[in-house]
Structure 1
Amino acid sequence: FLKDVLAKEGIKTIITTGPPHSVHLIGYYLKQGRPVHWVADFRDPWTTIGYHKKLKLTKSAEKKHKLLEAKVLHTADKIIVTSSTTKKEFENITSQPIKVITNGFDGELLTNDGLDSKFTISHIGSLLSGRNPVKLWSVLAQMVDEFPAFKEALRLQFIGVVSDEILSTIKEVGLQDFIEVIGYVSHQEALVYQRKSQVLLLVEIDSQETIGIIPGKLFEYMAAKRPILGIGPKNWDVESIVEETKTGYIFKHSDDIELKNVILRWFENYQKGQLNIIADNIEQFSRRELTRKLAEYI
């Protein structure tokens, strides 16, 4: 069907995007014997994505995945990835051009009107067991015991689903009275919660496989212009983005002392009504700017 469409419409460029990475196989076969320009867009890695090892593949199936991945990477005229880690990984497989184009945020940067009166640390989206930031809950519990004003002001706000294991961990350290689970809301409502929150929490699984994972919510967090508290694996690609844009701090799951110091410093600024960030060059992650880069690359 697509062969006929290419011929009939005179299409010279095709773009495939995955996962599912089987979509790239369509591009691979359309490229055979045809003068089409093929751009393969990987929004996630293929054989190194976090859940790949959990698929319980046989050795022959694993080998086939690797073979198909290599075929796509060698045959595509241009490749797009969302992180520098994935780019380095693919550069070990192919010499074809590879461009990093991250996810981004929609619309204009907005001002924050009506911040929460509480010292809200909010997580937007699913917070599942594998991401449980145990050290963070422990540090917050210590601060509640040590600083009466912090105890009075703290609120942990979850917009979206939270695993029972994470809620149990929070309760085990004595923070059950500070939890507010909002549940699912519309995307527009989620944006409002982001802009109202004092601090935005971003968490990733502590694993080698997740170093190159840059959650889409990071860019919406940046657009909300609220301090980002990130906790993830060592050498997480998110860290360089947050550092470059001066939008917050990123910690490893094992960090505690410096994590506590940053939260305490933010809390002191909150008490003065001065908890803000002065972000730098966030506009490069607007979808308008990213689309301009995409158009140039194609």
Structure 2
Amino acid sequence: MKKVLIITYYWPPSGGAGVQRWIKFVKYLPALGIEPLILTVHPNYATYPQIDLTLENDIPKSTKIFYAKSVDLYSFYKKVSSNKEVPYGGFANTKKNNLKEKIIRFIRGNFIIPDPRKGWNKYAVAKARELIRSHQIDTIITTSPPHSTQLIGLRLKREFDIKWIADLRDPWTDIYYFRQMYPTPIAMQIHKNLEKKVLVGADKIITVSESLKKLFAQKADNVLGKIEVISNGFDADDFKHVEINSESDFFFISYVGTISEKYDVSGLIQALSELPEDIRAKIKVRFIGRIPSNIIEEFDRAGLNKLLEVTGYVPHAKAIEFQFSSDALLLVIPDVKNNEGILTGKIFEYLASQKPILLVGPENGDAARIIRETKSGLVCDYKNHLKMKDGIIRFFQSKQLTIPEKNKLSDEVMMYTRENLTKELLTVINSL
């Protein structure tokens, strides 16, 4: 079998969408003739924003996993910040943003470039050298964020006669919270130079949406032809033993995942406020994950606190149970520049649930296009509360609670199974 070294900071026990993307690739690659070897940070030295031990169940027993230690640059943050958790999701879990926090963010954005997880790079490069030689590796894949991981690939490409695939799941200098770290023009230029070196140096680039492909193609000359789109997806195996609770009299509209202050839900709140009283009394809006205080306050000011239910972060398997126990699913795209290319991984599991989806975001975005192509819900601009209200009423009146079966999914949805997407990855690997 052809051996491919996958270099990723996030790996179980870490949780999150980025972990799921590569676990699923690793799950299906061996059946396609590829032996994946994993190089990741040792958990004793890692800084994970989320922990999900259940994800380990998806890793094939035969998978070879190798570890490198790291210098934890977030230890400084924990000592001096009033927010003791590792920031993530556009600082969604930041409770205070006072002058002290702004100074910390400034230091992070201007003196720890490209990100605090660069403390892993030196050790990861040393371990990767050893693995490339001992296992006769000729292809490596680096996946980010953290984008510092791409610099490992850049270094190894210069040292070895190998092929390098760079998987960029999110924008780099265009990520919606980048400006929240107050980068100076000098720091911004350093970031852009590193980003360009990665784009030029990689043999192939993978990203998750067509809009991101166009965005990265603008960063350097002659890179468009080597950028491939492989979206995130869903694994039908995750839904085989879903347990759902159908006892509630309420109509649950659920958002699964992290949400930050950049997510505009003002139109949704107005739509909920204008619902007929008999319907509104039976609605629950459930956030399964982190939610910033300003959104909770918006619900309170609108007198809708009784509608709001917040569970906090839960393991992936439990999140799926919540999802399938819901009557409709909420998908909000951050209201930021270049948000047309934001294609969050949760949309594909939403599709597999066969629950109606209410998308709040750009009507010309990649997520909106998928909702329309799969006929899976309603797309609304942030301020179009009337359309949201009408959509919620329609969803409410056609309430269903079913566990989907694989053979019931449309061909348009089946395109996004993890198994099919891994075949796309195989095509990229074989093209080198």
Structure-1 residue corresponding to 2:343: 214
The CA RMSD over aligned residues, in Å, is: 2.5
Task: Using the TM superposition, give the Cα deviation of residue 237 of structure 1 relative to its aligned residue in structure 2, in angstroms.
Answer: 1.7
Structure 1 residue 112 displacement after superposition: 8.8
> Residue by residue, what CA displacement relative to the aligned partner does 1:74-111 show, whole Å, maximum 9, x if unpaired?
12111000111110012222423111111122234568
User: What does 1:8-87 align with in structure 2 at a 5 Å threshold?
Assistant: 8-32=134-158, 34-87=160-213
Task: Work out the CA distance in 1 between the residues paired with 2:162 and 2:199.
Answer: 16
Q: CA deviation at 1:192?
A: 1.0
Cα distance change on mapping 1:186 and 1:72 into 2, 3 Å:
closer
Q: Is 1:135 equivalent to 2:267 in the alignment?
A: yes
- Say whether 1:185 aligns with 2:317: no
Q: Secondary structure at the match of 1:174?
A: coil
1:195 shift after superposition: 0.5
SS at 2:390 equivalent:
helix
Supply the distance in 2 between the matched residues of 1:3 and 1:151 (Cα, whole angstroms): 60
Report the Cα offset of residue 241 of structure 1: 1.3
Q: Which residue of 1 aligns with 2:416?
A: 285
**How far apart are 1:7 and its partner, in Å?**
3.1
**Structure 1 residues 183 and 6 mapped into 2: Cα distance closer, same or farther (>3 Å)?**
closer
Gaps spanning 5+ residues in structure 2: where?
1-125
Q: Secondary structure at the match of 2:394?
A: helix
The count of corresponding residues between Structure 1 and Structure 2 is 293
CA distance in 1, matches of 2:336, 2:402: 31
User: Are residues 1:161 and 2:293 paired?
Assistant: no
Cα deviations across residues 127-158 of structure 1 (Å, max 9, x unaligned)? 33221411111111111xxx243134222222
Question: Residue 143 of structure 2 aligns to a residue in which SS?
Answer: strand
Change (3 A) 1:5 1:188: closer
2:229 corresponds to: 100
Whether the 8 Å contact between 1:104 and 1:287 is mirrored in structure 2 is yes
Amino acid at match of 2:381: K
Alpha-carbon distance in 1 for matches of 2:228, 2:416:
15
Q: 1:125 offset after TM fit, Å?
A: 2.4
Q: TM-score, normalised by structure 1?
A: 0.89
Q: Tell me, what secondary structure is at the counterpart of 2:398?
A: helix
Aligned residue for 2:13? none
Please state how far the C-alpha of 1:275 moved relative to its aligned partner: 9.8
SS at match of 1:285: coil
- 1:242 paired to 2:371: yes
C-alpha separation in 2, matches of 1:21 and 1:289 = 26
State which of 164, 167, 171 in structure 1 corresponds to 2:300. Answer: 171
